[in-house]
Amino acid sequence: MEYSPLHIGEGTEEKQALLLLNNGSSLGPLENFLLKNWKKFAFRVCADGGSNSLHDTLTEEHRVNFIPDVIIGDMDSIRPDVRDYYESKKSEIIRKHDQDSTDFSKALTYLSTEKPECATVYVLNRMWGRFDQMLGNVHELYKAAANQRVYLVTEDSILMLLNPGKNVIHLKRELVEGHCGIIPLGESCDQCWTTGLEWNLDGEEMKIGGLISTCNLLKSDLVPHPQDYTVTIKCTHKVVFSFSHKLCNV
């Protein structure tokens, strides 16, 4: 499977969606990502309390230009004033009472079933605070529909789940910091092969408590093109790939 996580709104017929999770009172550095890329997405969703984060991050002058298409969740986090504001701006409010799924999961399911044309989803989450919530958000990558490419975007990293087989990741030299990692979560990966990294894998087994690839580097000088380059990861089991980015730089 091929991935182009840094090519937002570029050269593809496949539409892309933006999903904002609950990031507390501010998106922090992710505000820069939002301001630069909001209009590039075909559809924009807030997962319950993500609407508070969006509302409170922006000034009143900017807020009117950043109206989500849908706000979805069990609605136990959205403030009444925020709900009233976005309803007045014609955002659709969808309440889902299921307590066995997270608001993140509800939003991904909605996009998969109601907006299947938006098969690539960028999820904004600062990944700070409680460890169980961080791990829960990574867990949602494993639950996403088979037709979805989900990129979990934090203020300094992008995480994605890679399925068994050959995975080709197209990157932009000017938008990466260099560090990356390949981590098998939930199950061991019997064998993994890579190209384009400083320390490539050559069929080694990876597992928690054994070998994992952290603090690796993207070796972008291996390719002749001055801007774009490719990393390949061939694995026998699912792994999480993460890399540092510059998408939040001013």
* 53, amino acid identity: S
Provide the CATH number for the domain around residue 147: 3.40.50.10240
Residue 225: pLDDT band by 50, 70, 90 thresholds? low
CA angle 129, 132, 138 (to 5 degrees): 100
Residues 100 and 220 in one domain: no
Predicted confidence at residue 31, as pLDDT, reads 92
Is the same domain home to 172 and 52? no
Whether pLDDT at 43 is above 60? yes
Q: Tokens at residue 71, please?
A: 């706000």
Domain assignment present for 64: yes
pLDDT at 99 over 90: no
Residue 123 lies in a domain: yes
User: Which residue, 155, 182, 202, sits at the end of a domain?
Assistant: 155
Q: How many domains does the chain have?
A: 2
Pair 106, 167 in one domain: no
Q: 219: pLDDT confidence band, cut at 50, 70 and 90? A: confident
pLDDT per position as a tens digit, 141-185: 999 988 899 999 999 999 999 999 999 999 998 899 889 999 999
> Do 102 and 207 have their domain in common?
no
What is the extent of the structural domain holding 128? Answer: 2-155
Query: In terms of domains, do 27 and 102 share one?
Result: yes
What mean pLDDT comes out for the span 69-89? Answer: 96
Residue 250 resides in a domain: no
pLDDT in tens, 12-33: 667 999 999 998 888 889 999 9
Query: 32-46, 125-139, 226-240 — which is least confidently predicted?
Result: 125-139
- Give the strands of the sheet with 202-206, arranged side by side: 2-3, 165-172, 228-235, 189-195, 202-206
3-state helix, strand, coil in the chain (%, to 5): 25, 35, 40
Asked if residue 145 and residue 40 are part of one domain, the reply reads: yes
Indicate whether 129 and 145 sit together in one domain.
yes
CA separation for the pair 125, 14 (Å, rounded): 23
Closest C-alpha among 192, 142, 144 to residue 164: 192
Q: What radius of gyration, in Å, describes the C-alpha atoms of the chain?
A: 18
Query: Is the model's pLDDT at 195 over the cut of 60?
Result: yes
CA distance 109 to 116: 10
117, 30: one domain: yes
Residue in 130, 132, 137 with CA at minimum distance from that of residue 19: 137
pLDDT of residue 30: 92
**pLDDT of 167:** 97
One domain, residues 89 and 150 = yes
Portion of the chain with pLDDT greater than 70, in percent: 94
Give the contacts of 132 (CB within 8 A, at least 6 positions apart): none
- Of 95, 120, 155, which marks where a domain is finished? 155
When mean pLDDT is compared across 32-41, 59-68, 114-123, 170-179, the lowest value belongs to 170-179
Q: How many CB atoms lie within 10 A of CB 117?
A: 13
Residues 171 and 138 both lie in one domain: no
Which of 155, 177, 206 is the last residue in one of the domains?
155
Angle at 39 between CA 231 and CA 87, to 5 degrees: 125
Residues 77 and 122 in one domain: yes
Q: Which residue has the higher pLDDT, 108 or 229?
A: 108
> Are 37 and 120 found together in one domain?
yes
Model pTM? 0.94
Question: 202: buried, middle or exposed (CB in 10 Å: 19+, 13-18, 0-12)?
Answer: exposed
Tell me, what amino acid is at 85? Answer: Y
pLDDT of residue 145: 83
Least confident of 103-112, 118-127, 225-234: 225-234
